[in-house]
Amino acid sequence: MPLIRRIPKRGFNNARHTTRYIGVNLASLNVFDDGARVDETALRAVGLANGRSDGIKILGNGELKKKLTVSVHAFSASAKAKIEGLGGSCEVINAKSSATV
């Protein structure tokens, strides 16, 4: 067997630098009351966002039937359009603040 196949492989791995989001479908937000404010603590209390992650992302699957104020870390373009189309608002919050000097 050639030497290059016998020695261990080392080097740069991009996995530790990625941002991992918990995806929440838009149709799942119908459990909240009309006009409610939906944030990370509300989503975790209902059980829609469980586990460890860098943030929560709202995905555009399904239909939203209520006007909500959603404050999470990221939105898909279709989810943002659907929320604002019903008169709701989307607020993007920062998960981590990077201190660069």
| Each residue's pLDDT tens digit, 4-62 | 899 888 888 888 889 999 999 999 999 999 999 999 999 999 999 999 999 999 999 99
Sheet of strand 21-25, all strands in order from the earlier edge strand to the far edge: 21-25, 55-59, 74-75
Determine the pLDDT at residue 96: 60
The answer to whether residue 1 sits within a structural domain is: no
| The residue count for the chain | 101
Determine the structural domain holding residue 66 and report its residue range: 20-92
The answer to whether residue 2 sits within a structural domain is: no
Q: Inform me whether the pLDDT recorded for 98 exceeds 60.
A: no
**Structural domains of the chain, count:** 1
- Between CA 32 and CA 43 the distance in angstroms is 10
Q: Mark out the alpha helices in the chain (DSSP H runs).
A: 3-6, 40-46, 77-85
Which residue matches tokens 């992650």? 53
Q: Residues 57, 81, 32, CA angle at the centre, nearest 5°?
A: 60
Q: Inform me whether the pLDDT recorded for 100 exceeds 90.
A: no
Mean pLDDT of 54-80: 95
